Amino acid sequence: MNQKTEQFNELMKRPDIDQAVARYDEMYAKIRAKVTEIVPSLRWTSANPMTSASCGNDFAAVNADLRKDDAEVKSLASWVAQGKVPDPQWDSVQAAVSDILRGYGFDSGPIVVKSQPSDHYVTYRAPDGSEVAFGSSVNTSATVRTGCHLTAEAKKRGTPAAVPTY
């Protein structure tokens, strides 16, 4: 079996990228609701559009020599709330976010990037390479980047795409 087929078959075990995005959108909604329950003054807005990119080196063979990627990662639109989580509530907020994320497979974290008065930032990782960043300083924000997933079209096809002939 060649590397492209091995990598494609590994990605077939995962949901397609649209299913992953839908699952993480649901996760985002739970995080926003729970954080707002703890800090009612926070009002969330979507901060930027979702972007897509080819997968990194772990699955580079899947997309090699194709005109259109069969597998991709997505950075979902970030969510930002004006205002910060007050220091006395940070531990409760972080614990609640951690509980939600564990339910979605983020078993690595919180990895504390910064923890100073009025300035907190943590990250989480899932085994498929997905990452979540959550922090609060001047504002409070959450970002999600998926791991590598096949497109719905590629997953439905079930086999690697043929290399185009020119």
CATH code reported for the domain at 3-157: 3.30.2030.20
pLDDT at 66: 81
Averaged confidence pLDDT in the chain: 94
In 3D, which of 56, 127, 123, 115 has the Cα closest to residue 91?
115
pLDDT at 163 over 80: no
CA distance 4 to 2: 6
pLDDT at 81 over 70: yes
Is there a contact between 64 and 56 (Cβ–Cβ < 8 Å)?
A: no
pLDDT, tens digit, 9 for 90 and up, residues 48-80: 899 999 998 889 999 888 888 899 999 999 999
pTM of the model: 0.91
pLDDT at 109: 85
- Write out the H or E segment, with its range, that includes residue 11: helix 3-12
What one-letter code names the amino acid at 129?
G
pLDDT at 166: 63
pLDDT at 6: 94
pLDDT, tens digit, 9 for 90 and up, residues 24-43: 999 999 999 999 999 999 99
* Mean pLDDT value across residues 108-130: 95
